[in-house]
Structure 1
Amino acid sequence: MSRFSKPLIALALATIPFFVLVGTTSTVTVNGQIASDSRFNIGGLIMALIGLAIVFGVLRPSAPRDPARKSIAAAAGLLCLVQIANSIDLIRIEPLDWVMPDRHLPELQYSGLAENDYIYLSNKSPDFYRRTLTREKGKILGQAMQHRVYADLCHGGRYRADLVRAEQLPDYFDATERAEIERLASIAAENAPTECSRTMSNRLMGPAVDELNRQMDLFDRLEAEYLELAG
């Protein structure tokens, strides 16, 4: 057996429970918000304690003097202590989140408009088109601002929508219309969440993105109608 076998086994015992849960989890939801989220990884606790026992054996004064072996054992011992805290939920470490930070987010469902999806107008005058386009662009810009604020706050600036497209204002909007768009968008931006939560992420980074993408496509169709009408 290699002289590094025992410290490496201890290291493995401390590491595996970060990826494998053998225990219980409990989530309490109040008004759609997660009030508490706890877990107890009994398997991780047992493995970490076994790892510590191995480490103590390697580091005991009567053990052979082998600096490299003892260094690995010391590192394994520290990791075992971290694993104990993680297993009893004193701390929460999920290495998979470092590699796939958004793995818990819902998949986006929107894939495009149907042929009969339009914003139907009762008045087909150019002025009414412009008022509707102004209102819709204000909504789109507001949704985009909410998404940007929340993604920056809670998801490291990883956006799930084309915000450049959402924030682009066509040249045909005049100063008054642009001011109205900014006013409508600012109302939505003021209501952007200031705290992170799993429930909020599931909404703003999931269905809300689908809705934003759909609204942008609807806007493009309405804009095409207006430009054709305006000549």
Structure 2
Amino acid sequence: MKRFLIADDHEAVRSGLRAVLEQRADWEVVAEANDGSKAVAAAIANQPHVAIVDFSMPRMTGVEVARRIREYPLQTEVLIFTVHNSSLLAQEAFQAGARAFLLKSDANKLLLAAVEALLAHKPFCTRSCQSELDRGLSPGMDSRQALTPREQLVVKLVAEGYSNKGISSILDLSVKTTEAHRAAAMRKLDVNSTAGLVRYAVRAGLIEV
């Protein structure tokens, strides 16, 4: 029996994915999660063969989930599932240890193919995803500007409206450390306001609008 984890903060999406996957008699969804932290915990507890992880979730991005899963001795393959056709996001997903990147708009025709590739421990990327990767990073976003996973998560939370104190509580950091991550991200992105961080977060697919 092949075991699956579905992590998405929309219940309708999780239900739809479960229905598709469990059409196969030997496939079973053993866990669901509605935020990134719960997704990591569910992966550790259930050790699924495949984790289908939405990129934009509360508390932790899908890329950070993939990175955390790779830190444990798990055989779980990670598929990043997103509405954002972003070369930056795709590159970060693969660098973090995900082996598949699938746009939600392609799910109806390509989800099963992506999952079967992962079950065979093979990478999967759609043509549209690959064309974005071939183009490299988006204009103005070269490798020197790449944020660390922690900086990226801080920017995501800033864009979602959290204060430095709120971010510190969520990430279990001191306010001073949160401020340092925020300042480093602003320096790398060459922005000088919260609005600039929000614009980056939208463009990079860190949040849905």
Give the structure with the higher percent strand. Answer: 2
Larger Rg: 1 or 2? 1
TM-score range, shorter chain: under 0.3
Length-normalised TM-score, structure 2: 0.21
RCO higher in structure (CA 8 A, sep ≥6)? 1
Give the structure with the higher percent helix. Answer: 1
